[in-house]
């Protein structure tokens, strides 16, 4: 068990320095190890804040046209309005949540800021109305405030304030507000002091606070069925600090746990699943790590509870923002099945939520990204829209979109901007026609791919071939025995042999090339495929997986994944690359993999290759 509870540490000088050079808010307490790492990245990645004008004027509505809505880059998402921070209480923004008044059908946002929580009527999203502010308890400031809603009450926690507790505010009080005012809380829960985030299960009436000064930083459960009288219900402390979580009455395919209350906890480097039906005796069902873990941040279940998507806040955002895909059909043994790598976004990802087949992702400097997850069973995600509230950069860093709230029935989507304030938008999918398929190959039949097309391969074993792969394992999966679709894929030595290294790549490079593909002369052309690279800890950066395109002017590398001297398990990942520069040409796709360092255990696979035109 690892513990990263708040520890005594002298970081005041660094905090002061960070506050002097950046307006970006952090997602972790700077006294904790993860906060110190984030502070290092903030300082390394610092760019000046990009803010709306500091006046109080609401940004006017603008349709997304030719890739822009007013000053914001966009795709399929229209601007409804934007309220600068100066018009909703000041400070910096952080998290938020929404409330729909079932009596009046009005929609509201409760917006977290460094010094309090703002209440905003967004029923008319092109003319939102600021109703007032609930100050932070004792007037103290925090860059981390989290809010959830249950039974017409808002529950508000804050990190780095040891005496804050959880404020309770009766949202029906907003019905009669006619001018902005300063509110007081209706109640305050003091069973913990600070908290990093809150989750709510509206079916059961429990709040699940995490990252508190109790329960070893794990899950602190609070019964809020009587909202103004919260009651401590128990702890989940066995796996230490939890960053965020989602707790549901499980209705998924694992029949053993249907109807039970299950928490999916994001525990820094693992997905940890706990049965909390009995609050006095919670049971940990599984604790599962994954390849590429840097800081397990947050995730969300699909509607059928069979899969979930997860973000890792400190993983590499190059060559694109990563979304980790899990099969949670067996709660005792969840499986990381693949990783989606964005072809358009390299920003640090933050909170995301799933409604039906769409995932709404707040991606810091990348703004709001909307992904179609209808192909999640095959590890296929597709970006269908974005709205960039931080247009000066799309790189790694902590500016821009902290959270999004996509749950209003009206279709209004709220984005909380660290420097920008509240931005209201609407997804308009009709503004972009669907893509057309130019080329596709699932490798179920031979279609003309050629191994060692130039006759220069140096690998002595593990050459690329099309076939039904046999699984191998060496401290984790190295060759996958399952494909993305059908029976066959492209794989480096499909047989398993007597050991994991019996038919892996040995001695150098192996390559395989597609038949000629004639590209259309116009449109946006994207090449996509599912792929994996796996290796043992004896690998090095000289080993690699590479995708290139052979065109009239030569061969251009589109993507390279280098190995490293660490164990990397096989997991299907989706990659997409723009090939519009070769429109009108006859091209071929070249795929290479190498054990170039000698004696490394290296395997690779490819499936579902497509070229589409938008």
Asked if 422 and 534 sit in the same domain, the reply is no
Asked if 257 and 394 sit in the same domain, the reply is yes
Q: Which H or E element spans position 395? A: none
Q: Where residue 43 falls among pLDDT bands split at 50, 70, 90?
A: very low
Q: What does the DSSP 8-state code read for residue 406? A: -
Nearest-CA neighbor of 265 among 216, 199, 348? Answer: 199
Q: What is the mean pLDDT of the chain?
A: 87
**26-50: average pLDDT:** 48
Which token pair is 47?
């760019």
How far apart are alpha carbons 27 and 35 in whole angstroms? 8
How far apart are alpha carbons 259 and 248 in whole angstroms? 9
**Helix or strand or coil: residue 45?**
helix
Tell which of 431, 450, 485 closes a domain: 431
pLDDT of residue 198 exceeding 70: yes
Tell which of 403, 431, 459 closes a domain: 431
Give residue-wise pLDDT tens across range 311-369: 988 876 667 888 999 999 999 999 999 888 888 888 888 899 999 999 999 999 999 99
What's the first-to-final CA gap in the chain, in angstroms?
A: 48
Name the percent of the chain lying above pLDDT 90. 67
Q: Where residue 443 falls among pLDDT bands split at 50, 70, 90?
A: very high
Give residue-wise pLDDT tens across range 538-568: 888 889 999 999 999 999 999 888 888 888 8
Asked if 91 and 19 sit in the same domain, the reply is no
How far apart are alpha carbons 593 and 596 in whole angstroms? 9
Domain assignment present for 1: no
Phi-psi region of 608 (alpha: psi -120 to 50; beta: other; left: phi over 0): left
CA angle at 325 for the pair 202 and 211, rounded to the nearest 5°: 50
Q: Which H or E element spans position 222? A: strand 219-223
Q: For the chain, how many structural domains are there in total? A: 3
Tell which of 379, 404, 431 closes a domain: 431
Q: Where residue 37 falls among pLDDT bands split at 50, 70, 90?
A: low
Asked if 306 and 254 sit in the same domain, the reply is yes
Which token pair is 328?
């949670």
Q: Where are the beta strands (DSSP E) in 21-143?
A: 68-69, 72-75, 77-83, 93-100, 107-113, 116-121, 129-135
Asked if 223 and 359 sit in the same domain, the reply is yes
| pLDDT for the residue 313 | 80
β-sheet bridge partners, residue 591: 512, 547
Asked if 374 and 426 sit in the same domain, the reply is yes
Asked if 424 and 470 sit in the same domain, the reply is no
pTM: 0.72
What is the residue-wise DSSP string for 6-29? ------HHHHHHHHHH--PPPSS-
Q: What is the span of the domain harbouring residue 254?
A: 68-431
CA angle at 542 for the pair 538 and 545, rounded to the nearest 5°: 95
Give residue-wise pLDDT tens across range 272-319: 999 999 999 999 999 999 987 888 889 999 999 999 999 988 876 667
Asked if 389 and 449 sit in the same domain, the reply is no
pLDDT of residue 85 exceeding 60: yes
Asked if 420 and 467 sit in the same domain, the reply is no
Domain assignment present for 524: yes
Q: Which residue has the higher pLDDT, 494 or 614?
A: 494
């Amino acid at each position: 068990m690892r513990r990263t509870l708040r520890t005594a540490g002298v970081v005041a000088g660094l905090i002061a320095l960070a506050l002097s050079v950046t307006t970006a808010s952090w997602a972790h307490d700077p006294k904790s190890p993860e906060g110190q790492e984030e502070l290092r990245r903030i300082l390394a990645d610092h760019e000046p804040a990009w803010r709306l004008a500091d006046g109080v004027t609401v940004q006017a509505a603008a349709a997304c046209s030719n890739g822009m809505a007013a000053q914001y880059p966009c795709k399929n998402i229209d601007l409804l309005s934007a309220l600068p921070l100066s018009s909703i209480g000041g400070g910096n923004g952080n998290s938020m949540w929404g409330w729909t008044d079932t009596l009046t059908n009005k929609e509201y946002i409760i917006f977290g800021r460094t010094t309090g929580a703002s209440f905003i009527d967004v029923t008319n999203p092109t003319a939102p109305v600021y109703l007032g502010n609930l100050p932070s308890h004792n007037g103290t400031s925090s860059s981390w405030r989290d809010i959830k809603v249950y039974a017409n009450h808002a529950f508000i926690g804050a990190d780095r304030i040891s005496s804050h507790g959880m404020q309770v505010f009766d949202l029906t009080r907003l019905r009669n507000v006619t001018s902005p005012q300063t509110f007081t809380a209706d109640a305050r829960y003091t069973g913990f002091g600070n908290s990093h985030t809150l989750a709510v299960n509206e079916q059961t009436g429990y709040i699940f606070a995490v990252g508190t000064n109790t329960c070893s930083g794990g899950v602190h459960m609070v019964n809020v069925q009587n909202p103004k009288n919260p009651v401590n219900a128990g702890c989940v402390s066995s796996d230490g600090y939890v960053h965020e979580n989602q707790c549901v009455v499980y209705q998924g395919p694992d029949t053993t746990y249907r109807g039970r209350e299950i928490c999916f906890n994001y525990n820094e480097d693992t997905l940890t699943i706990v049965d909390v039906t009995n609050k006095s005796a919670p049971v940990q069902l599984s604790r599962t790590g994954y390849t590429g873990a840097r800081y397990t941040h947050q995730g969300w279940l699909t509607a059928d509870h069979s899969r979930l998507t997860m973000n890792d806040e400190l993983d590499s955002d190059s060559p694109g923002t990563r979304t980790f895909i899990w099969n949670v059909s067996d709660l005792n043994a969840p499986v990381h099945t693949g990783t989606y790598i964005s072809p358009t976004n390299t920003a640090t990802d933050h909170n995301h939520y799933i409604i039906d087949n769409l995932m709404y992702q707040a991606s810091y400097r990348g703004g709001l990204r909307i992904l179609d997850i209808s192909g999640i069973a095959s590890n296929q995600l597709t970006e269908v829209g974005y709205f960039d509230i931080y247009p000066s950069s799309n790189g790694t860093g902590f500016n821009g979109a902290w959270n999004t709230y996509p749950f209003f029935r009206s279709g209004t989507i709220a984005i909380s901007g660290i420097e920008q304030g509240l931005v209201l938008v609407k997804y308009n999918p009709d503004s972009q026609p669907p893509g057309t398929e130019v080329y596709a190959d699932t490798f179920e039949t031979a279609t003309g791919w050629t191994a060692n097309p130039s006759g220069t391969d140096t690998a002595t074993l593990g050459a690329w071939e099309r076939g039904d792969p046999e699984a191998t394992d060496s401290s984790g999966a190295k060759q996958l025995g399952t494909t993305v679709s059908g029976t066959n894929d492209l794989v480096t030595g499909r047989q398993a042999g007597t050991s994991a290294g019996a038919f892996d790549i040995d001695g150098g490079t192996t390559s395989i090339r597609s038949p000629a593909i004639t590209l259309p002369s116009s449109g946006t052309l994207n090449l996509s495929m599912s792929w994996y690279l796996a290796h043992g800890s004896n690998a090095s950066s000289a080993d690699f997986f590479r995708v290139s395109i052979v065109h009239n002017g030569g061969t251009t590398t589109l993507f390279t994944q280098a190995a490293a001297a660490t164990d990397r398990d096989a997991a299907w990942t989706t990659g997409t690359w723009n090939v519009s520069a070769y429109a009108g040409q006859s091209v071929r796709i070249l795929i290479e993999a190498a054990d170039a360092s000698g004696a490394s255990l290296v395997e690779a696979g490819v499936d579902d290759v497509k070229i589409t035109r938008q």
